[in-house]
Chains A and B, each alone.
Chain A
Amino acid sequence: MAIIERPSTVPAIAGGDAPQFVSPASSYGVFRRPVNSTGWRSWVFTVDHKRLGIMYGATALFFFLIGGVEALLIRTQLAAPDNTVLSASLYNQLFTMHATTMIFLFVMPVTTGFANYLVPLQIGARDVAFPRLNAFGYWCFLFGGIFLNTSWFLGGAADGGWFMYQPNANALFSPTHGVDFWSLGLQITGIASITGALNLIVTILNMRAPGMTLMKMPIFTWMALVTQFLLVFAIPVITVALFLLMFQRVFGAQFFNVDAGADPLLWQHLFWIFGHPEVYILILPSFGIVSEVLPVFSRKPLFGYKFVVFSGAAIGFVGWGVWAHHMFASGLGPVSVAVFSVSTMLIAIPTGVKIVNWVLTMWGGKLHFTTAMLFAIGLIAQFTIGGLSGVTHSVSPSDTQQTDTYYIVAHFHYVLFGGAVFGLFAGFYYWWPKVFGKMLSETLGKWNFWLMVIGMNLTFGPMHILGLQGQPRRMVVYPENLTGEGFFNLHFWNTAATVGSYLLALGVLVFVYNVWHTRKGAPAPLDPWDARSLEWLTTSPPKVHNFDVIPHVHALDEFFHLKYEEVDTDTGPRLVKVRTAEELLTEQETNADKHIHMPSPSYWPIVLAAGLPIMAYGIIYNHLLTVIGGAIVLMGAFAWALEPSVADDSDYDPPAAGGEPSQELVSV
């Protein structure tokens, strides 16, 4: 099955003839509109949400490996006392870029990739609301990520920590261009986040299949929706902070100049008003993923769907009122500290609700311990540990002891690696057959899981001890004579953490090998997990137009209820499988819609996005470049605005048989 473009004089038949392709004849503006459906052009100019989802995922995983190497270098330096693997300057750059890469270039884009790929499928739509904007977001992310990382070769990367506190990161203490690259690069990826979020919110609110009310939406889509709202309102705050920082460093503005009477807390407030919603941006998609995975492998519906939805939304709201718990040690005054302590404790409640719901979903279920399920259970356990150490931070006297120690590092790696990343891996294993039509090996998957669990706990578990013993964060070297004795010896636990980090890296490599190993395996079954939501109501990988017929939704877990019906038996009513996924798909294909319009590819998203890093280089090096980049952006915007989102009739060759040209798209 493929969507093709052909003259309308040829009768439109679904499920029949071989595909026919028609290329555009006339040009629009200067260029012919791209229509390739194979080859590199079909990827570079694509506006298909599924392709963009895969591109987001692949690019983010590449940055994950870069960020992982940075982490290994950090751990290698700390493996032994008085170590000299890294210089202090390089060490500062590495921990800054490790965090920046993992947060902005791995977890955020990979969750955007999941949402991009799955949301239209889960809500029964054929694409997103703004396909070209979607492509634009991806290219902004890619170019922003590359731009950030070119700083390694242009005098050194940013070295002020991912929170880039002022005035520590001003030109006096951080004289290379690293921080400039950082502020401009994050500005570009921020554009990607805003456009992506606008697009997904409109898609979810406006493009649901008939009958899918908000409370019948799959839970992953719900969590994606909350995440996008957080992005829309959090990103502009960091945008302001980054502009102030750039104006300070490039144009000599005074914002963080303490000599002129500046208040260093301004940066901290702006940063954390963004930064705290940001941590929920990182974790909520993973919460959504495990809320999909657990019911499928427990053979039970999600326990308390409404509670999971509303606790997710509650986390989204309360997440705006806790930012100053990152600043307890900065002298805010007792009232602020008390208020933010209490609100931080409050946010533990909706989080706890979710954990209870997940556990009760498994309670009494027929558990299938697939790799996806194992990762989901891993998230529950490890996130709970990280959540509990988080509650200890909300108690401000305790936090004052823990601030800027490895205890904090342990806490946020338990929630972000043990939580968010484990959720993402659950998603990889669960949806891999859907996206690529191949199963990942379960045997390798078990190796992957156990290596990562052991590695993760061996790396970050000891950091609790190190932190409570007073090892400060961002410490590049420690002398042997200060490591202490006995059980709390810092040398021993640092070495243990380093060993753990190598095990963790091995686990990730097993995943990479698994992908490589299974790339030519047998096609995956249509419904390998006996799944519950709409994305499984189509082929694997899905057709270009997702669904032959837009489904009419009657229930939460619609796909499950299409397969199973309640039948009265001697022992009372039971759910019995009455239809298979194959039968449902055949039914779709026989009733396929005959006229399906898909949005056409476009040059302009990538052109427009390419102008942004050029502008950014110009701000750092030569303002003439900024003008050139700005001209590209402006011209790209006009070309985009003048281009219809679907190719015009006149873009196509007239049919050989004569008659008027048409842009009719037909599923064949």
Chain B
Amino acid sequence: MSEAIITDTPDADRSGADSGAVVPVADEDVVVDHPVDEHGAGDHAAHMVTSTGLSNNKLAMWLFLGSECLLFGGLISTYMLYRGRHTGSPGPAQLWDIPLTSVSSFVLLMSSLTMVLAVSAAQQRDDRLTTLWLSVTALLGATFVGAQVYEFTSFYHEGLGFTTSLFSSSFYTLTGFHGIHVTIGIIMLMALVGIISRSKVPGDKAEVVELIGLYWHFVDIVWIVIFTLVYLIPA
């Protein structure tokens, strides 16, 4: 499903490309300025006047995130059902390194802050600052994923393989899915940095920045839930 995120973005990309105009379209406020009549209602990009006033891309992203809630809902339920079932193998009490995970969680939460700064810079059409904050966000995300890899490795050495117990299977699946989501987010951020640096019109990717921002914040919020349920509340 990750493809949907990457592939949704191009529709937002094309304001500069197809009009050739210097009208950067950031969000629905600017839509009115866009030469809509020139293109007619057949223009299916993000920038037509829509019935709800929301851009197509943003509405689709919200719906996709709604769908993702159910995905993580299913995974979290599975973990909650099985977290106490680890007879004969290490359980949460022996494994968790709360200080380490707290630090990596803090790093991930800070990446939401830098993401907000990137969105803000994009809306002010400051491409240099946008790419800077996007890169910092990706770096913080990568730090989190790195900490997760370290954590998985050390758990593995303590005897917790993927197939060891019900607890281990559901733990690795849940946190692994989250880690994959962060990784896809990092790929999207870095791709966006590349695309913006090639772009000739300042700020014309503002909506894409915002969409990926929505995704990034969502993944962070999911981590808050996972961190609380998995690490902080004792089984």
Identify the A interface with B (CB < 8 A): 125-133, 136, 191, 194-195, 197-199, 201-202, 205-208, 212, 232-237, 239-241, 243-244, 247, 251-255, 257, 260-263, 266, 270, 273, 545, 550, 593, 595-599, 604, 608, 633, 637-638, 640-646, 648-649, 663, 665
CB under 8 Å from chain A, chain B span 54-78: 54, 56, 59-60, 63-64, 66-68, 70-71, 73-75, 78
CB under 8 Å from chain A, chain B span 1-49: 1, 3-4, 6-11, 13-14, 17-18, 20, 38-45, 48
Other-chain contact of B163, A131, A198, A252, A597 (Cβ < 8 Å): A252
**27 A-B residue pairings within 8 Å (CB atoms):** A129-B56, A191-B4, A201-B63, A205-B52, A205-B59, A207-B51, A212-B51, A232-B63, A232-B67, A233-B67, A236-B70, A237-B71, A247-B169, A255-B170, A261-B166, A262-B82, A545-B42, A593-B40, A595-B39, A608-B7, A641-B6, A641-B10, A641-B191, A642-B10, A644-B17, A645-B10, A665-B42
- Given known contacts A240-B75, A641-B6, A649-B20, is B166 in contact with A260 (CB within 8 Å)? yes
A239–B2 Cα gap in the complex (Å)? 13
Besides A132-B7, A254-B165, A640-B10, 15 more A-B contacts (Cβ < 8 Å) are A127-B42, A130-B11, A133-B7, A205-B59, A232-B63, A232-B66, A237-B70, A239-B74, A254-B164, A254-B168, A261-B87, A595-B39, A597-B44, A637-B7, A643-B10
Q: Which residues of A contact B170 (CB under 8 A)?
A: 255
B145 CB → nearest A CB, Å = 17
Other-chain contact of B78, A234, A244, A545, A638 (Cβ < 8 Å): A244
Q: Does residue B195 face the partner (Cβ distance < 8 Å to A)?
A: yes
B198 CB → nearest A CB, Å = 9
CB-CB nearest in chain B for A550: B41
Q: Which of B6, B39, B54, B70 has the most CB of A within 10 A?
A: B70
Q: Which of A127, A240, A257, A262 has the most CB of B within 10 A?
A: A240
A130/B8 in contact, CB under 8 A? yes
A648–B1 Cα gap in the complex (Å)? 28
| Secondary structure of the A contact surface, majority rule | helix
A593–B68 Cα gap in the complex (Å)? 40
A205/B51 in contact, CB under 8 A? yes
Q: Which residues of A contact B8 (CB under 8 A)?
A: 130, 133
B74/A270 in contact, CB under 8 A? yes
CB-CB nearest in chain B for A646: B18
- Given known contacts A133-B8, A593-B40, A645-B14, is B1 in contact with A194 (CB within 8 Å)? yes
Q: Which residues of A contact B63 (CB under 8 A)?
A: 197-198, 201-202, 232
Q: Does residue B173 face the partner (Cβ distance < 8 Å to A)?
A: yes
CB-CB nearest in chain A for B173: A247
Q: Which residues of A contact B48 (CB under 8 A)?
A: 207
Q: Does residue B152 face the partner (Cβ distance < 8 Å to A)?
A: no
- Given known contacts A595-B38, A598-B42, A649-B20, is B166 in contact with A262 (CB within 8 Å)? yes
Q: Which residues of B contact A593 (CB under 8 A)?
A: 40-41
A243–B75 Cα gap in the complex (Å)? 10
Other-chain contact of B66, A233, A240, A255, A261 (Cβ < 8 Å): A233
B173 CB → nearest A CB, Å = 6
Other-chain contact of A252, B54, B73, B162 (Cβ < 8 Å): B162
Q: Which of B44, B73, B170 has the most CB of A within 10 A?
A: B44
B43/A254 in contact, CB under 8 A? no
A91–B68 Cα gap in the complex (Å)? 37
B137 CB → nearest A CB, Å = 18
A133–B44 Cα gap in the complex (Å)? 12
A642–B191 Cα gap in the complex (Å)? 10
Q: Does residue B124 face the partner (Cβ distance < 8 Å to A)?
A: no
B40/A595 in contact, CB under 8 A? yes
Q: Does residue B50 face the partner (Cβ distance < 8 Å to A)?
A: yes
Q: Which residues of B contact A241 (CB under 8 A)?
A: 74
Say which size band chain B's interface belongs to. Answer: 35 or more
CB-CB nearest in chain B for A252: B163
CB-CB nearest in chain A for B170: A255
B144 CB → nearest A CB, Å = 21
A208–B60 Cα gap in the complex (Å)? 16
A266/B78 in contact, CB under 8 A? yes
A616 CB → nearest B CB, Å = 14
B56/A237 in contact, CB under 8 A? no
B67/A255 in contact, CB under 8 A? no
Q: Which residues of B contact A126 (CB under 8 A)?
A: 41-42, 44
Q: Which residues of B contact A206 (CB under 8 A)?
A: 50-52, 54, 56, 59
A648/B6 in contact, CB under 8 A? no
Q: Does residue B81 face the partner (Cβ distance < 8 Å to A)?
A: yes
A133/B4 in contact, CB under 8 A? yes
B4/A644 in contact, CB under 8 A? no
B78/A261 in contact, CB under 8 A? no
B6/A640 in contact, CB under 8 A? yes
A195–B8 Cα gap in the complex (Å)? 10
The list of the 6 closest CB pairs from A to B, nearest first, reads A240-B74, A206-B50, A236-B71, A644-B14, A253-B169, A236-B70
A348–B70 Cα gap in the complex (Å)? 26
Q: Which residues of A contact B87 (CB under 8 A)?
A: 261
CB under 8 Å from chain A, chain B span 184-235: 191, 195
Other-chain contact of A261, B44, B54, B85 (Cβ < 8 Å): B85
A608/B3 in contact, CB under 8 A? yes
A240/B78 in contact, CB under 8 A? yes
Q: Which of A239, A599, A645 has the most CB of B within 10 A?
A: A645
Q: Which residues of B contact A598 (CB under 8 A)?
A: 42
A208/B51 in contact, CB under 8 A? yes
B14/A207 in contact, CB under 8 A? no
Q: Which residues of A contact B51 (CB under 8 A)?
A: 205-208, 212
A251/B75 in contact, CB under 8 A? no
Q: Which residues of B contact A130 (CB under 8 A)?
A: 8, 11, 44, 56, 60
- Given known contacts A199-B60, A597-B39, A646-B14, is B7 in contact with A233 (CB within 8 Å)? no
B162/A251 in contact, CB under 8 A? yes
B54/A243 in contact, CB under 8 A? no
B24 CB → nearest A CB, Å = 15
A212–B51 Cα gap in the complex (Å)? 9
Other-chain contact of B4, A198, A208, A665 (Cβ < 8 Å): A198
Q: Which residues of B contact A208 (CB under 8 A)?
A: 51
A202–B11 Cα gap in the complex (Å)? 13
B41/A202 in contact, CB under 8 A? no
CB-CB nearest in chain B for A129: B56
B234 CB → nearest A CB, Å = 19
B166/A254 in contact, CB under 8 A? yes
Other-chain contact of B50, A207, A252, A273 (Cβ < 8 Å): A207
A602 CB → nearest B CB, Å = 10
A266–B166 Cα gap in the complex (Å)? 12
A645/B39 in contact, CB under 8 A? no
A243–B3 Cα gap in the complex (Å)? 17
Q: Which of A129, A235, A252 has the most CB of B within 10 A?
A: A129
CB-CB nearest in chain B for A187: B1
A127/B44 in contact, CB under 8 A? yes
Residues 67-110 of B, flagged 1 when their CB comes within 8 A of A and 0 if not, give 11011011100100110010100000000000000000000000
A255/B41 in contact, CB under 8 A? no
- Given known contacts A240-B74, A255-B169, is B13 in contact with A644 (CB within 8 Å)? yes
A195–B61 Cα gap in the complex (Å)? 11
B161 CB → nearest A CB, Å = 9
Q: Which residues of A contact B54 (CB under 8 A)?
A: 206
B85 CB → nearest A CB, Å = 5
A130–B75 Cα gap in the complex (Å)? 29
Other-chain contact of A253, B20, B40, B81, B173 (Cβ < 8 Å): B173
A527–B70 Cα gap in the complex (Å)? 44
A222 CB → nearest B CB, Å = 14
